[in-house]
Structure 1
Amino acid sequence: MEEKMPELPEVETVRRGLSALITDKKITKVTLIYPKIIQGDTQTFVKEMTGRTFKEIDRRGKYLLFRLSDGLTMVSHLRMEGKYSVKENNEPLDKHTHVVFDLVDGMQLRYNDVRKFGRMQIVKTGTEVQLSSLQKLGPEPTPETFLIDDFYQELQKKKKVIKTALLDQTIVAGLGNIYVDEVLWMTKIHPETKCFDITYQQAKEMHDNIILELNRAIKAHGTTIFTFSGVNAQIGSFQNELNVYGKKGEPCPRCQTPLEKIVVGQRGTHFCPNCQQLAK
């Protein structure tokens, strides 16, 4: 079974869910059940988090940024299986709960991670952009920040194939395997097309489709495939609107040709061999 990491719509769904539940809540205690989730000194993390208030939750690409009182930010990456929930403090802990934040109102923010791949780190607000993981991120996929001309120029510089380039987060932030396959199908571009072979018109269509598709997925609370869920196990519904991902052998919704699956850059890749022909 192929891994499915939460992509931008799923992380945005978590951000919105948490914002409604923990904003302006003070942290009274921090319990590290599996300390390796924390990057940096664990004692410093506990000390800095305790007594502070969750003021706001932002997102950058697939990273959650918990803005705390007194100018600190907790940077959180869910990786493959990370999940947050808000529970009453007398509810038993799940066996995969690794970090618990007790809140002043008797609730707990709990971080659950079957694979233990997720990471948290505390930094001064504003310095998170200097972290190597965030430094390389391309623009957010919004009309204001993701500019067509810049996108096209970046593609012209790349020798990679388009599927790999869109996944690496440097041209645009937040895309993962599912949404790249969907966007390339929408734009009728073969996933193994070299970036520098993509025309300006194709780049424009792809740019618009990236913004459109991610916004549609956010409205549907993300795509639940395998294990993803939002806060308190909220399930997304965008999997019901996918055109190609996970549909090998099914007819293309546009031309009825059986969809195919290949491996591109070690990632399972779904496409239509008729609509998305590789230019010779």
Structure 2
Amino acid sequence: MPELPEVEVTRRSFADRIAGARVQGVRLGKPLRWPLGVAPASLVGRAVLGVRRRGKYLLIDLSDGLLLLHLGMSGSVQFALALPEPGPHDHFDLATDRGVLRLHDPRRFGAVVHAADEADPVAVKLLGHLGVEPLTEAFDLRAFAAGLKSRQAPIKQVLLAGQLVVGVGNIYASEALFLAGIRPTTRASRLGPARVARLHAAIRTVLSRALAVGGSTLKDFSNAQGQTGYFQLETMVYDRAGEPCRVCATPVRSIRQGQRSTFFCPVCQRP
């Protein structure tokens, strides 16, 4: 699934080029996870003011309303002056006078949803439960520590839930916990101040590095210009089960948590 770095890399790859464009047409393919919510023709003539990100959602601000775009499990977007005829997995085209924005999603877990604004119940339902953005000043260490202290679940599950801090998905949670020296199964409330501070810093470090190298391309992720990411080439534990830890040479272990694969070093990461 595209995680925060991949979504932000995608945003940066087309946001400047589509800003100021005017919608000329909308094409819908097969139904996605949620319906668009308005008649496609009603979007024609609206201007694209800009593109923001909230967690794993792209927010396309229009002169009237906004579109919330989610890439789902396997989605990606393209933006170009002209694109080929849509294929069977191309489910949404936003045609503008500056190019066509297309959502490609083989598994159809993604969505494009219209809302009047962020106070619209539709937007609140999708965005209202999200935690703070980890690469902003809002990601406060004291608030993060207090939130962890009240949670009894394993720390990796707390990170994936996205209620304290948003966007730390499976890949980056495993990597941040390794960098902080914390076992993924450790109960969140057991983490003392020093380990919380290390984890807080590790989340920022790992996500910043992923952004710098274009995110992770494990299967078919690419940004809106068709470029892939390279973070997967330098992971310390993720997807390296049985391989030697890059620090201590102990074989990396893999377990299942919440039906997701978790990777860790049993020596470098303390319970």
Bin of the TM-score, shorter chain as denominator length: over 0.9
**Cα distance in 2, alignment partners of residues 244 and 208 from structure 1:** 18
Aligned length: 270
Partner of 1:228: 221
2:110 counterpart of 1:114: no
Shift of 1:197: 0.5
Match of 1:24 among 14, 20, 26: 20
2:179 counterpart of 1:186: yes
Partner of 2:139: 146
Partner of 2:8: 12
Percent identity reads 35
Instruction: Tell me the secondary structure at the aligned position of residue 225 of structure 2.
Output: helix
**Cα distance in 2, alignment partners of residues 36 and 114 from structure 1:** 10
Match of 1:65 among 45, 59, 77: 59
Match of 1:131 among 117, 124, 129: 124
State the TM-score, normalizing by the size of structure 2. 0.94
Partner of 1:219: 212
Instruction: Tell me the secondary structure at the aligned position of residue 131 of structure 1.
Output: helix
In 2 relative to 1, CA 45–208 (structure 1 residues): closer, same or farther, beyond 3 Å? farther
In 2 relative to 1, CA 227–91 (structure 1 residues): closer, same or farther, beyond 3 Å? closer
Instruction: Tell me the secondary structure at the aligned position of residue 231 of structure 1.
Output: coil
In 2 relative to 1, CA 209–131 (structure 1 residues): closer, same or farther, beyond 3 Å? same
Shift of 1:48: 3.5
Partner of 1:50: 44
Match of 1:158 among 136, 151, 163: 151
Instruction: Tell me the secondary structure at the aligned position of residue 102 of structure 1.
Output: strand
Cα offsets for 1:176-222 (capped at 9, x unmatched): 10000000100110000001100011111100110111011111110
**Cα distance in 1, alignment partners of residues 151 and 83 from structure 2:** 53
**Cα distance in 2, alignment partners of residues 250 and 90 from structure 1:** 42
**Runs of 4+ off more than 4 Å:** none
**Cα distance in 1, alignment partners of residues 120 and 91 from structure 2:** 23
2:157 counterpart of 1:168: no
Q: Is the 8 A contact 1:89 1:102 kept in 2?
A: no
State the TM-score, normalizing by the size of structure 1. 0.91
AA aligned to 2:5 is P
**Cα distance in 2, alignment partners of residues 187 and 240 from structure 1:** 20
Q: Is the 8 A contact 2:78 2:101 kept in 1?
A: yes
Instruction: Tell me the secondary structure at the aligned position of residue 146 of structure 2.
Output: helix
Tell me, which stretches of 5 or more residues in structure 1 are unaligned? none
**Cα distance in 1, alignment partners of residues 138 and 83 from structure 2:** 44
Q: Is the 8 A contact 1:261 1:270 kept in 2?
A: yes
Partner of 2:35: 39
Shift of 1:93: 2.1
**Cα distance in 1, alignment partners of residues 181 and 150 from structure 2:** 21
Q: Is the 8 A contact 2:32 2:109 kept in 1?
A: no
Match of 1:85 among 68, 78, 81: 78
Q: Is the 8 A contact 2:25 2:41 kept in 1?
A: no
AA aligned to 1:65 is L
Q: Which moves more between the two structures, 15-24 or 242-251? A: 15-24
**Cα distance in 1, alignment partners of residues 22 and 250 from structure 2:** 56
